[in-house]
Structure 1
């Protein structure tokens, strides 16, 4: 790897992270569409979760299409057309998906709505494949994972404001008495979003972003040659399940929250948006904390920023909700919950396996508290799951690809394919809710976190047997 990149290329990095913003904006906005579609189309809770299924399974289908085309053409398709062209193509595909919202809204077609979301997800799959290595390449490799974490923080800014904007487009301002659910009100914000995709695609096409990036793969130990396939490594196989259940619990906790707040707590659909925003802002809070290391500052200042960053992110959440004219009084107490995040981050000492174990355990505790209580305490418990999910992607990703040598890129692609867990687990929780009740359905998330805690324990032994000790070598991820 070239050592020429001694500083982050902010002039290229900043326009790149606009696509990270879009991913978050759409993903979190789905949580507003779910209760709207449920009422408008008279769906069961399980059927309403098809919104998540359509969107997240598209990532896996897109990844398979990418692999298939690359195999048939005997070469990496992205390397052939260039990174900027691939990004622009992904944005145009997503824009085509948003266009389907117009006829879908006019005809009241749920399948056409799902088709639009699926195509948006297909475009996002290509963008993910391009943007992640680009973010790593735009600066020194030693801070590549922190740049991905920073990009994730921008992603979660999108998840924070997405539900608020889509809710406003459908229901009007928070002060409005409008409670009508109108499918036709969905088409305008998504057509505007599609136009934004096209504008950004054109801007990125003519930006200074590189068309090629230097491959980033783990240096292979010649005394321990790589196996023929990444699938021969147990840390990857178990890690693929880990990514599946992690994305699953992250998405399903939020996507089923509106149904819980409506059914058990009596909330109106139009009043749920700030709580969905808080959930996704919780991921932003955790990722802004982790992104501190992407900046070249002194160790002393870095320690202070570890405390400042999460509350700065919380301040962003409060600010955007104030602009949306939501009552902020219910949210101030959440500042106390953030202390738990900071303490857990310090206790992990940068070891991804230890962090995965601690945060998965906290996720189980949060869900059990939510399931065993009612009222606002249960809502705060469920939303705090976002805090404890915020660091899990880099932990799982790092542990799963460690020691893969020349198979690292192949292993990474397999992990990206497992993002479909966001849709499958959401549907599963919806089905459990239909069979029992929405409050009990969060047991699905408990099982997901329990597996992640097991993986944290098991993978440590696997990697130690391969000579990899994260107490001596601390590595990062997305």
Structure 2
């Protein structure tokens, strides 16, 4: 494989022996993207309880925040792959950053009007930007070096995604959540003017954080514009026949990776979406303290990524994935049947063991696809729609059980069992 940078210079791709310094800065820049979209997803865990309060929603309605973002992943996955082929990785990354920033800035009019529909539109646009970024950055990180270490590189980059979840939890709890909660009876007893003032104040809390986020995204896009990123091109000149978009699913391991990724993303979003609610209800924490515990969850997610990346040097990726799936299943059972602070401890453990799942499933699904990597990547990104569907089902289940948050964690438990099957059997490549 050759690497051709934006100026047209050619270099030998790293082969595992003495990687050249050419790839250090590109990898750092790509890793920064993992941090940025981690911030977006980390803030979702804050937005769900916050907008539930500010816009007076039930559990099922509040999960439409997840639906808006992950539906965008599904709808934009194929266009994102086409954009990469048309304009390349670098320009696709810039495009994704600017679309992401547009959605962030739309939080201002959404908050001013306290319109939940407008919030959902803004989040959908953010999801479109994230799709372009992830479709670009995940395969780019995977191929920026020898194939046998693709899982290692993806997990290393994704470790900063975990750091962002922690940062989002702490900052979101401080700048967005007010710590003021009123029961439905208290809200009904308020004078109309006082009630509207309270709700407007709650909605306005999201404006400054998202203005700052949007500004940072624009600045990073400018940085990428002036930087030179290597572009991966095959050095082979023979024509390689590519299967169609659906035909690529004949690769059995890719098909199972798509299924596993669907349920993994659904499980992760279910756990984070209701973390603050379950911390309040089962552990008796107030809103701001629950957000602090959510930040610790993100910190453990990050630590799990780093330690998982370390373990991948000694343990096969599918073996580690299977072990972590078993442990996550057990901890989900504790979250369902446990009491008090032990529920929070279980969720922290789930965060730690979930940490390596997305990049590991992604890398295992792309094994051996060669010139069909972009198509396989699009399928794996499309499978993220699990984050749109399963949390909505979890919210519905919780509402059906009279706001019993613990009962909803049955859904991620089933998801981890499916991931376990992929780790043991589904990942195997059959020619």
Instruction: Provide the aligned C-alpha RMSD in A.
Output: 2.6
- 2:43 maps to 29
* Alpha-carbon distance between aligned partners in 1 of 2:103 and 2:400, rounded to the nearest angstrom: 33
- 2:212 maps to 192
TM-aligned CA distance change 1:4 to 1:107, over 3 Å: closer
* Alpha-carbon distance between aligned partners in 1 of 2:127 and 2:99, rounded to the nearest angstrom: 9
Say yes or no: does 1:52 pair with 2:52: no
TM-score by length of 1: 0.76
Say yes or no: does 1:202 pair with 2:208: no
- 1:459 maps to 426
TM-aligned CA distance change 1:199 to 1:367, over 3 Å: same
Preserved contact between residue 282 and residue 341 of structure 2 (Cα < 8 Å): no
Report the secondary structure of 1:272's partner residue. Answer: helix
Instruction: Provide the aligned length of Structure 1 versus Structure 2.
Output: 393
- Name which of 17, 20, 32 aligns with 1:7: 20
Structure 1 residues 380-403: Cα deviation after superposition (integer angstroms, max 9, x where no partner) = 002211111112224323443335
Say yes or no: does 1:271 pair with 2:289: yes
Say yes or no: does 1:411 pair with 2:376: yes
Report the secondary structure of 1:208's partner residue. Answer: coil
Say yes or no: does 1:357 pair with 2:335: no
Say yes or no: does 1:285 pair with 2:299: no
Q: Which residues of 2 match residues 6-405 of structure 1 at below 5 A? A: 6-7=19-20, 9-66=23-80, 70=82, 77-171=83-177, 182-210=202-230, 212-214=231-233, 229-292=247-310, 350-404=315-369
TM-aligned CA distance change 1:163 to 1:146, over 3 Å: same
Deviation at 1:105, TM superposition (A): 0.5
* Alpha-carbon distance between aligned partners in 2 of 1:61 and 1:215, rounded to the nearest angstrom: 29
Identify unmatched segments of 5+ residues in structure 2.
3-11, 182-197
TM-aligned CA distance change 1:16 to 1:399, over 3 Å: closer
TM-aligned CA distance change 1:234 to 1:133, over 3 Å: closer
TM-aligned CA distance change 1:246 to 1:155, over 3 Å: same
TM-score by length of 2: 0.84
TM-aligned CA distance change 1:160 to 1:254, over 3 Å: same
TM-aligned CA distance change 1:356 to 1:226, over 3 Å: farther
Preserved contact between residue 159 and residue 281 of structure 1 (Cα < 8 Å): yes
TM-aligned CA distance change 1:145 to 1:398, over 3 Å: closer
Report the secondary structure of 2:255's partner residue. Answer: helix
TM-aligned CA distance change 1:164 to 1:383, over 3 Å: same
Preserved contact between residue 296 and residue 348 of structure 2 (Cα < 8 Å): yes
Deviation at 1:171, TM superposition (A): 4.1
Structure 1 residues 126-167: Cα deviation after superposition (integer angstroms, max 9, x where no partner) = 111222233345445554432221110111111110121122
Report the secondary structure of 1:213's partner residue. Answer: strand
Preserved contact between residue 133 and residue 213 of structure 1 (Cα < 8 Å): no
- 1:424 maps to 389
Report the secondary structure of 2:176's partner residue. Answer: helix
Report the secondary structure of 1:204's partner residue. Answer: helix
* Alpha-carbon distance between aligned partners in 2 of 1:407 and 1:428, rounded to the nearest angstrom: 33
Report the secondary structure of 2:229's partner residue. Answer: coil
- 1:337 maps to none
Identify unmatched segments of 5+ residues in structure 1.
71-76, 293-305, 307-344, 468-478
Deviation at 1:420, TM superposition (A): 1.5
Report the secondary structure of 1:386's partner residue. Answer: helix
TM-aligned CA distance change 1:245 to 1:216, over 3 Å: farther
